[in-house]
Amino acid sequence: MKMESRLAQIGSIEEPVTGAVSFPVYQATAFRHPKLGQSTGFDYARTKSPTRKVLEEAIAVLESGDAGFACSSGMAALQTIFAYFSQGDHLIVSLDLYGGTYRLLEKIMARFGVTSTYVDTNDFDALEGAFQSNTKGILIETPTNPLMMITDLEQVCAWAKQKGIVSIVDNTLLTPFLQRPIELGADIVIHSATKYLGGHNDVLAGLIVTKGKELSEQMAFLHNSIGAVLGPQDSWLLMRGMKTLALRMERHEANATAIARYLLTHPLIDEVYYPALESHPGYAVQNKQSSGNTGIFSFKVKDARLVEPVLRHIRLIAFAESLGGVESLMTYPAVQTHADIPLEIRQKVGVDDRLLRFSVGIEHVDDLIADLGHALEQAQAELEGGGN
C-alpha cells in the first residue's frame, strides 16, 4: 500500500464494534479485568491505552519499525530515549541541532554522567575523532535545525553498526512521507510530532520508533516507567493531522522551494539554506535518501539591523516559535529556539544575529512572497532612513 493511502486510513478500520472510521477517544485510565489472571490487553493507561495504541502502531508501520511510542512532547520523547543510556556513557551528536536538545544534554543529562561531543556527522574523520571507548550512541538531525545540513544516513548508520553503537535519527523535518531512516540503517527514529505530523499548531506530542525486538522491549519499559505518555485526546488529534500529511508536505515543499528561489536573488539576502536548491552542499545526498524536501528553511539578511523591522512588518507570516503547521511562521533562532546554545558555539556553526528561520505554510505562495517582499522593502526603507 502506498504511503498516501496508509496515512489517510490511520485508525479507520481499527474499531470492530461500531465500524467508526474515526477511531474513538478512549478517555479511560483503568480497564476492567474479565477475571483474576486475565486481561483485555489494557490494564492502566500509562502502559497502554486504545487510542494511543492505534497511533503507535501507525507510526511504527509508516517508519518501517517494529514498535512505536507516543510521548507528551518531543522533549519527553528525547528524555525517554536518553534514559536508555547509563552514567559514564558518551554520545556523538550533530553539531547543528535544535537548542532544546542541546539544553537537555548539557543541563540535565550531563548531571547524570552522560556526556556528548558535537560534530559534523558527515565528516568521518570528525566521527572517528569523537568516538571513545564509552561511546554508546549517535544522535543525528538531518536536515539540521536551523542550517539544513544533510547527513548521509546510510553511511553513518553503517559506521555506527560497525562501532556497535545505537543510531538515533531525528526525522521531524521530513517525516516518514519523505524519509525513512530505519530503512537506511537507523535503530531509533524520533519526531517532535507537534510539528509536521500534527500539522496544525494545536497538539503537543513526541513519537519514538524502534527497530529490533530487544531494543523495542527496552524502550517499552522506559516509556512505561518514565510515564511521559501521550493522552487519548492528543493521540486522536495527532492521528487526525497525520491523515493529511501527504497533501500538506507536498504544498509545504512547493511553497518553500518557490520562496527560497525568490530569496536567492534578493538584494537584501546573503545566503539561503535549503536542500532543494542545487547550490546546497547536501543536495545530492538529500535526493538520494529522501523523496522530497521539508517546508522549512533558513536565510541570512545582509545586515543584522534588518531583522527587527522584517519581523515587525510581516503580517500573513507570524513571528512565532515552532514549525511544521499549516500557518507560516518566522523565527529568530539566536534569541528563540537556539538561545540555550552558548554564543561561541552558535557563531561557529553559523547561527548568528542575521539568521532567520522560515516555516513555510500552505497559504498561496504569491501571498507569502508578497508579504515577505513588503517586509523586506519596509525594513530597507527604515534602515536607509535612519529608522524613521
Interval 210-222 mean pLDDT = 98
pLDDT of residue 245 exceeding 60, the answer is yes
pLDDT of residue 388 exceeding 70, the answer is no
**Closest alpha carbon to 52 in 193, 183, 249, 260:** 193
CA distance 147 to 349: 8
Window from 37-46, 186-195, 225-234 with minimum mean pLDDT: 37-46
pLDDT at 387: 55
Beta-strand pair 296-301/318-319: unpaired
Interval 345-369 mean pLDDT = 93
Percent of the chain with pLDDT over 90: 90
pLDDT at 104: 97
Please tell me whether the peptide bond between 143 and the residue prior to it is cis, using omega within 30 degrees of 0.
yes
pLDDT of residue 243 exceeding 90, the answer is yes
Q: What is the pLDDT of residues 90-122, one digit of tens each?
A: 999 999 989 899 999 999 999 999 999 999 999
CA distance 331 to 310: 11
Percent of the chain with pLDDT over 70: 99
CA distance 370 to 356: 17
pLDDT at 385: 85
Residues annotated as catalytic are 46, 98, 170, 195
* pLDDT band per the 50, 70, 90 thresholds, residue 16: confident
Mean pLDDT of the chain: 96
Secondary structure (DSSP) of 63-106: TT-SEEEEESSHHHHHHHHHTTS-TT-EEEEESS--HHHHHIII
pLDDT at 35: 93
